[in-house]
Copies of this chain bind each other. A is one copy, B any other.
Amino acid sequence: MRLSGLSLSIFLLLLLLIHPVYLTAQNTSEDGYRAWLRYENVEDDELLYEYKELVRAVVLRGNSETTRAIEVELKQAITGLLDMEVPFHNNIQVNGTLVIGTPETSEEIAGLDFANKLETVGDEGYVIENAGIDGYETIVIAANSNIGLLYGVFDLMRQLQTYEDISDISIHSAPKVEYRMVNHWDNLSRLVERGYAGLSIWDWGTLPEYKDPRYTDYARLNASIGINATAVNNVNADPRMLTDQFLEKLVVLADMFRPYGIQVFISINYQAPISVGGLDTADPLDPEVRKWWADKADQIYEMIPDFGGFLVKADSEGQPGPFAYDRNHAEGANVLAEAVESHGGVVIWRAFVYSPEQEDRFREAYDEFVPLDGDFKDNVILQVKNGPIDFQPREPFSPLFGAMEETNTMLELQITQEYFGFSYHLAYQGTLFEEALDADTYAKGEGSTVGDVISGEVFDYKHTGMAGVLNIGNYRNWTGHPFVQSNWYAYGRLAWDYTLSADEIADEWMKMTFTNNEQFIDPIGDVMMESREAGVNYRSPLGLTHLYAQGHHYGPAPWTSDLPRSDWTAVYYHKADEEGIGFDRTETGSNAIEQYHEPLESKFRNIETTPEDYLLWFHHVDWDYEMDSGRTLWEELVHNYYKGVEQVRRMQDQWNSIEGLIDQQRFERVKALLEIQEKDAVRWRDSCVLYFQTFSERPIPDQFEKPEHDLEYYKSLENTIYIPSPRYD
């Protein structure tokens, strides 16, 4: 009995000991910092038991920065997920050993019959399989490189995080594109262009001296979804990025990212030979300029041997470029490509160009770049935004995809929600990304999707890639809105494998980020999958586009007409008049439709075969045009605007229904943000419906609640309502 008392004492003592620690942990653990790498305890007892049996020990081969990163990650993950310290052994001693290695580093792997499998997964891919080795049952993670092993480890941990059965595991995975890149539009001042989550995470003021552990967590999160490249500074580039003081800071980032397989790129300013180099010209064909870029590249590679290369926004929105010297984009890009070529670097040249004079901005990039196809060096990659205008809630794909047979072409997606409510609106972009990647270009007949093009399946590209304009800042939870993290995640997963579905990615992400509880997953999965469509509906349904207030792109201003450039106005895009609304891009208009391959061209030319989601992108349509629903265009437009608000309200209801299933901290935050979103959605709806009504002169159907204010009121908000962004000081 004395022992029992002692046992009870110890129990209580330990309970007390645990208590304060839990308190501390609770205060911080659900603040979103860990994102999808939370590694919370598996709550299903049966599964937990199974996992523990299958992962009783680890044999990790190799001795490199990356294998050390794997060890740290695995220890943290297994401690969290399985509530146990997993032993690392020098050889297989028990069933349930996780064996990790390459054929070079691991005799165990070399001894398996994996040669064919490993050949198919290439440099960065991996194989996860059950295997009997020396009479022991093991799970093997094999790859041709240590980075492949790291990706495999993150995959296996994802299986555990999402409660997948791993008793009979067999995963062969390889990335479908070479450069899986994030682009930071971060200024050196730490203000982030189109950033809504605080300042840049790059604290240039304390670099190179201070190696913020957050940089490692950044690398972990990226590597866990397969990102392997980052361009750290804004494409509207500060030339100082090329000076010694910044290159020294960059070395630290490169060193911290290297174990995680992440290459650094920098965005360059085309005038740098003048402003940094002191030359008189930045003419790409000038020998001194060529030498300057070559010397600069040599210097950088001396400091960062695995430097990725340069990202360039030239002759676009005021950025300098080769045009000043009567050189074209190819001539402009090739001088840079030459400079990095011998080091294995690439130049990523953005195709986002449009001049104030053109009749239809839609046409511009295609008209400018297609004639240059074949003129770029083969270590240049053209980076093309998914749509021909600018990251709108819904755009048809850019006809450049499928038109550049001899020019490496990669896709640029916007992860940050410039046009989607900043970090205040829940708008899962996985569906948008999926739509962009799955769009069929018909470049080589049916089944030539954008994804196929950029992965080099359609044309034989030397380099392939995908870039995402990242949405993170120095906010503790990286992105502000907890759900905005999902867009970073979805982007990475799709960059690895564009055939994944937005739905399954959302499912994974929710389980890793919140809970595996189906009472949460089911309704909130619906919320995520519906959220982008809701955003389209309350802003710009049926193919309307760019109805934003100028500059900040947060609130509605479909009435803007008087700006320095007509293609910055809203009226340029919607062209509403008494007859109807929409941009005629058929032969009676700009004829931009001709840029698409058949049968798309014919499909879009014909109003009857144009998908209604894209209707007003391609046609100026009568207000009374009859839609598939039987409603007139006007009624359908109103219907969609009201539907958008209803969708947000349903999102609110669904969110409120899951209270108690997750931590209160993130619950409250999302709840509050959805209230903001609902208010904004109503403002968007009412502003647009009342404004377009001045053209249609038709009533808002009776079944809908009437706008609370008149149009003048909504117009007045454009200049008085608060815009939550430090860019608008």
Using a CB–CB distance below 8 Å, which chain A residues touch chain B?
Answer: 3-4, 6-7, 10-11, 14-25, 28-29, 33, 41, 76, 79-80, 83-85, 187-191, 198-199, 203-206, 209-211, 213, 240, 243, 245-246, 422, 424, 474-476, 665, 668-669, 672-673, 675-676, 720-722, 724-729
Contact = CB atoms under 8 A, between A and B. Distances in A.
Counting from the closest, the 4 A-B pairs by CB-CB distance are: A205-B724, A7-B7, A210-B672, A209-B672
B16 A83 contact: yes
Given A3-B3, A213-B665, A668-B210, A204 B16 contact: no
Contact of A198 (B199, B243, B724): B199
Contacts of A33: 28
Given A7-B10, A11-B14, A211-B668, 14 more contacts: A3-B3, A3-B4, A7-B7, A10-B10, A18-B21, A20-B83, A199-B726, A204-B724, A205-B422, A209-B673, A209-B676, A210-B673, A240-B720, A240-B722
Task: Indicate the member of A204, A210, A422 with the most B CB atoms within 10 Å.
Answer: A210
A18 B14 contact: yes
Nearest to A217: B27
Contact of A675 (B28, B80, B209, B669): B209
Contact of A729 (B23, B83, B187, B476): B187
A206 to B, nearest CB: 6
B240 A79 contact: no
Contacts of A204: 722, 724
Contact of A19 (B4, B15, B79): B79
A211 B672 contact: yes
Contact of A726 (B15, B191, B209): B191
Contacts of A85: 16, 19
Nearest to A79: B20
Contacts of A198: 198-199, 474
Interface centre among A41, A79, A187, A422 (most CB of B within 10 A): A79
Nearest to A240: B722
Please indicate which of the listed interface residues A6, A205, A213, A474 has the most CB atoms of chain B within 10 Å of its own CB: A205
Contacts of A24: 25, 28-29, 80
A4 B2 CA distance: 10
Contacts of A722: 188, 204-205, 240, 245-246
14 contacts: A4-B7, A20-B83, A21-B21, A24-B25, A24-B80, A28-B33, A188-B722, A189-B727, A189-B728, A198-B198, A210-B676, A240-B722, A474-B474, A474-B475
Contacts of A79: 19-20, 23
B22 A21 contact: yes
B76 A669 contact: no
A274 to B, nearest CB: 15
Contacts of A476: 476
A10 to B, nearest CB: 5
A309 to B, nearest CB: 23
A39 to B, nearest CB: 9
Given A199-B198, A676-B206, A726 B189 contact: yes
Contacts of A243: 720
A17 B41 CA distance: 10
A269 to B, nearest CB: 15
Nearest to A728: B189
Contacts of A720: 240, 243
A480 to B, nearest CB: 8
A691 to B, nearest CB: 22
B11 A424 contact: no
Task: Report which residue of A199, A474, A676 has the largest number of chain B beta carbons within 10 angstroms of its beta carbon.
Answer: A199
Contacts of A240: 720, 722
A206 B484 CA distance: 15
Contacts of A190: 724, 726
A693 to B, nearest CB: 26
Contacts of A206: 424, 672-673, 676, 724
B16 A84 contact: yes
Nearest to A717: B245
A230 B342 CA distance: 60
Nearest to A481: B206
Nearest to A192: B726
Nearest to A209: B672
A198 B203 CA distance: 10
B23 A725 contact: no
A206 B677 CA distance: 10
Contacts of A669: 210
Contacts of A211: 668, 672
B729 A189 contact: yes
Contact of A191 (B10, B11, B80, B729): B729
Contact of A20 (B20, B80, B422, B727): B80
Nearest to A727: B189
A722 to B, nearest CB: 6
B725 A189 contact: yes
A69 B396 CA distance: 55
